[in-house]
Chains A and B, each alone.
Chain A
C-alpha cells in the first residue's frame, strides 16, 4: 500500500538534495520506502544512513518509532538530519 509522506532535508542533506522538502508517495513498508526515496533523491541513503545522518519520523529517531509501529502512515514527516551538535 502507498502512503503520502513528506521528506525533509536539513543541513548537508539539504545541500546535496538542493531543496528542503519533497512530498512523495512511497510504500508503507519502511525499508521499501527508503529504497524508493533513495532512488528519487541525491543524498545517498544507502551509504550514509546512520553514518552521516539519521532519520527522524515525526521528530523522533526512526529506530525508536519503528519499535512502536511497523508501517509508515499517511502524512508522516521523514527528516534526514546529520549528526550535529549544539552551542
Chain B
C-alpha cells in the first residue's frame, strides 16, 4: 500500500507526548515541505516555532524531532539516513545530528516523515511504532543495559525486521555528550542521548510495511542509475572509501599537518608508520558493512586478533575516532582505539567529544594542573590504559569522569588556570579531527558551524589542499567565505533530503538536486538554485534559533591555541589561523551584519521575517 499524497514523502507526522502517553498523527503540511524539505529543515522550523527560548535542554520542555526527507528510503544510493534536531545540553544551542543505517527508511515505510517527542515519561519507556500502531511499553527492564544488549533484547521481542534507536547508561545519567545508537550507527554529537535520557525514553522501535509514490519514475530511476555509476567511478566513493572507509584520508591528513596531535599541540605524528589505514586494512578490517541502499560500503567490522586487546571488535574504527582516541591522546595502539570506540558505542557516548576531553585531561596532567591523586592514575599522552579507564569513568560519572563528561568547556571553566586557552571547543562543541592551522577554511567552518565546532557543515580540506582547478591555498583567507557558505547551504540540503553526506564526494550538486526534482516533482523546485535557497533558509533559521539562546558574533571564534599558538614543526610550522579576515567576509557573503545577525532584507528574501 503506498502512502503520502506528496511524492517521496510518507505524508504524516507523529507527535508523541511522553508525559501523558498520548500521541497525535497529522498530515505533513505542504508549506513545511516546499520551504524546508525535510530532515534538518523540518527540525529547524518545528523547533524554532515550538520550543520555548531559554528552556533547559534536559527538562520535559525540550523537544526531539526525528525526521527523514524525500530521498530517504528510495533506490537513491546511500538513502538510509535520518536526522534528529533538538536543543543541545552540551552547547545550549541548536543541535542537528544524523544517523546512517536503516532506521530512517523503516520510519518512512511506517508512514511517517517525522516523529516529534515531547514531555517526559513517568518511568523508563520504549516507544513502539509499527505502521499506524503506536504504543508505550515499560522500559524498566532495559534501563541500565548497554546499547547493543538493549537492541538484542528488543529484537528478540519485536522481531528481526524492526529497527531501533536507544540510549546506553551514559544517556540515562544525562552525560552531556551522550549519544543515541541505532543498529551499528549513531546520532553522535551534541548530547542527543542525554535529551532522550532526560525524557526517560530508553528506546524507539519502528517497523514499516508501506511504500512510496514517485513523481517521474523513469526519470528518477535514470538518476539513481547515473548516481550509482558516478559513485563507483569516483576515486573517493568508488575507490578510497570502499577500501579504507573514512580512514582513506588518514595518511593524507597527517602528511598535510592537518591531523591534530596531543590536543592540537602539533601536527606531526611519527607513529603514522605503524598506525595508518593500510595497517587497518591488512590487520584489522574483517568485513565491509553498508547502510540502506548504499554501494559505497564505507563501514567496516574490525577485530583485534592478537596482543593486549585480542578479541575486541567494533563497527569502525572511523577516521574521527582513530583521531580522538588516537593522535589526540598521543596514542597509536589501534587495538585500544577499536576497544575504546566500541565501549563508547556500548555506553552511548560520542567518541569524538570523549577523545577530545581525554586529550585535554592528559595535557592538564602533564602541565601539573590535575594531579595523579585527583585522577587516580598517571595519564600522560600515549597511555592507552588511561583512555579505556576514562571512557568508563565518563560513562558512569565516576571520579574525574563526572567532570569530563560535562564537556571540555565546562571542565576548563571549573579548572580555571588558563585552561580555556587549550580547551578545544567552539560554542561548547568539542573540535573534531582537523587542525585549522592546516587548512584555514576549516577554521571558518568550525567558527560558523551552527552546532558548534563541526566538520559536517563544511568540509573544505579537499578544495584547499587537493583541488587543482581552484588553486586554493590552505594558508590563505581568499575564497574561504564563499566556499564555506556554499558548502553549509548545500550540506543543509543533503541533511534535509536526508541522504548520506558522502554522496557529496562522488556526485555534483546538480546531480543530487536532479534526483530530488525527479522524485518529488515539486514545481517550486525548478532549479538547483531553488533547492540551494532551501539550504540557505535552514542555515539562517538555525542561526536565529541559536541567537535566541544567546549566541552572538563573539561566539563565532576559535580556541586561543589556534589563533595565537603556532605549531613548532611540520607542514603547519609557524602558522596561526587568520579568522578575523575570513569571518568579516563570511558575514558579508551571508548578508549578516557586522554583529553576525541575518539582516532584515535577507530574512525577508528567505521568508523568515514573520
* Residues in chain A within 8 A of chain B (CB atoms): 8, 10-12, 14-15, 20, 50, 52-54, 56, 58-61, 63-64, 77, 79, 81-87
Interface assignment of B257: CB less than 8 Å from any CB of chain A: yes
Partner of B461, one of A15, A50, A86: A86
Q: How far is the CB of A82 from chain B (nearest CB, A)?
A: 4
Known: A11-B248, A79-B251. 15 other contacts (CB 8 A): A11-B240, A11-B244, A11-B252, A53-B235, A56-B252, A60-B256, A63-B468, A83-B462, A83-B466, A84-B241, A84-B248, A84-B505, A86-B434, A86-B461, A87-B505
Interface assignment of B549: CB less than 8 Å from any CB of chain A: no
Interface assignment of B319: CB less than 8 Å from any CB of chain A: yes
Q: How far is the CB of B164 from chain A (nearest CB, A)?
A: 24
| Closest residue on chain B to residue A14 by CB atoms | B278
Alpha-carbon distance between A64 and B239 when the two chains are bound, in angstroms: 26
B239 touches A12 (CB 8 A): yes
A59 touches B471 (CB 8 A): no
Interface assignment of B236: CB less than 8 Å from any CB of chain A: yes
Interface assignment of B501: CB less than 8 Å from any CB of chain A: yes
Given A11-B244, A59-B571, A60-B256, are A84 and B249 neighbors across the interface (CB < 8 Å)? yes
B277 touches A11 (CB 8 A): yes
Which B residues touch A59, using CB under 8 A?
Answer: 255-257, 438, 570-571
B570 touches A64 (CB 8 A): no
* Residues in chain B within 8 A of chain A (CB atoms): 234-236, 239-241, 243-244, 246, 248-249, 251-252, 255-257, 276-278, 298, 318-319, 434, 438, 455-456, 459, 461-462, 465-468, 471, 473-474, 501-502, 504-505, 570-571
Alpha-carbon distance between A40 and B468 when the two chains are bound, in angstroms: 25
Partner of A50, one of B434, B468, B473: B468
A8 touches B255 (CB 8 A): yes
Which A residues touch B502, using CB under 8 A?
Answer: 85, 87
Q: Per DSSP, are chain A's interface residues mostly helix, strand or loop, or mixed?
A: mixed
Question: Could you write out 13 A-B pairs with CB less than 8 Å apart?
Answer: A11-B248, A11-B249, A12-B239, A14-B278, A53-B235, A54-B468, A82-B235, A83-B234, A83-B462, A84-B505, A85-B459, A86-B434, A86-B462
Given A10-B252, A82-B239, A84-B240, are A61 and B466 neighbors across the interface (CB < 8 Å)? yes
- Pairs A-B, 8 closest by C-beta atoms: A85-B505, A59-B571, A11-B240, A82-B235, A12-B239, A59-B256, A10-B251, A86-B459
Partner of A85, one of B244, B251, B434, B504: B504
Which B residues touch A12, using CB under 8 A?
Answer: 235, 239-240, 243
A84 touches B256 (CB 8 A): no
Alpha-carbon distance between A56 and B241 when the two chains are bound, in angstroms: 20
Q: Per DSSP, are chain B's interface residues mostly helix, strand or loop, or mixed?
A: helix
Given A54-B468, A87-B319, are A82 and B255 neighbors across the interface (CB < 8 Å)? no
A83 touches B465 (CB 8 A): no
Alpha-carbon distance between A10 and B252 when the two chains are bound, in angstroms: 7
Alpha-carbon distance between A68 and B252 when the two chains are bound, in angstroms: 22
A8 touches B466 (CB 8 A): no
Q: How far is the CB of B396 from chain A (nearest CB, A)?
A: 30
Which A residues touch B318, using CB under 8 A?
Answer: 87
Which B residues touch A14, using CB under 8 A?
Answer: 278
Alpha-carbon distance between A59 and B437 when the two chains are bound, in angstroms: 13
Alpha-carbon distance between A81 and B252 when the two chains are bound, in angstroms: 7
Given A12-B235, A53-B235, are A87 and B468 neighbors across the interface (CB < 8 Å)? no
Which B residues touch A20, using CB under 8 A?
Answer: 251, 276, 278
Which B residues touch A58, using CB under 8 A?
Answer: 571
Alpha-carbon distance between A41 and B91 when the two chains are bound, in angstroms: 50
Q: How far is the CB of B482 from chain A (nearest CB, A)?
A: 19
Which B residues touch A56, using CB under 8 A?
Answer: 252, 255-256, 465
| Closest residue on chain B to residue A50 by CB atoms | B468
Alpha-carbon distance between A15 and B459 when the two chains are bound, in angstroms: 25
Which A residues touch B278, using CB under 8 A?
Answer: 14, 20
Given A83-B235, A86-B462, are A11 and B243 neighbors across the interface (CB < 8 Å)? yes
Given A11-B248, A15-B243, are A84 and B466 neighbors across the interface (CB < 8 Å)? yes
Which B residues touch A83, using CB under 8 A?
Answer: 234-236, 462, 466-467
Which B residues touch A86, using CB under 8 A?
Answer: 246, 249, 319, 434, 455, 459, 461-462
Partner of A61, one of B235, B249, B468: B468
| Closest residue on chain B to residue A49 by CB atoms | B468
A85 touches B462 (CB 8 A): yes
| Closest residue on chain A to residue B442 by CB atoms | A86
Given A12-B240, A56-B252, are A61 and B465 neighbors across the interface (CB < 8 Å)? yes
Q: Which of A11, A64, A86 has the most CB of B within 10 A?
A: A86
| Closest residue on chain B to residue A48 by CB atoms | B235
| Closest residue on chain A to residue B245 by CB atoms | A87
Which A residues touch B459, using CB under 8 A?
Answer: 85-87
Q: How far is the CB of B216 from chain A (nearest CB, A)?
A: 29
Given A11-B243, A84-B462, are A60 and B235 neighbors across the interface (CB < 8 Å)? no
| Closest residue on chain B to residue A11 by CB atoms | B240
Alpha-carbon distance between A60 and B244 when the two chains are bound, in angstroms: 23
Q: How far is the CB of B312 from chain A (nearest CB, A)?
A: 24
Which B residues touch A50, using CB under 8 A?
Answer: 468
Alpha-carbon distance between A82 and B468 when the two chains are bound, in angstroms: 12
Which B residues touch A63, using CB under 8 A?
Answer: 468, 471
| Closest residue on chain A to residue B505 by CB atoms | A85
Q: How far is the CB of B458 from chain A (nearest CB, A)?
A: 10
A64 touches B473 (CB 8 A): yes
Which B residues touch A8, using CB under 8 A?
Answer: 251, 255
| Closest residue on chain B to residue A79 by CB atoms | B255
Given A79-B255, A86-B246, A87-B319, are A52 and B465 neighbors across the interface (CB < 8 Å)? no
Alpha-carbon distance between A12 and B505 when the two chains are bound, in angstroms: 15
Alpha-carbon distance between A84 and B249 when the two chains are bound, in angstroms: 7
Q: How far is the CB of B425 from chain A (nearest CB, A)?
A: 19
Q: How far is the CB of A68 from chain B (nearest CB, A)?
A: 11
Alpha-carbon distance between A35 and B605 when the two chains are bound, in angstroms: 54
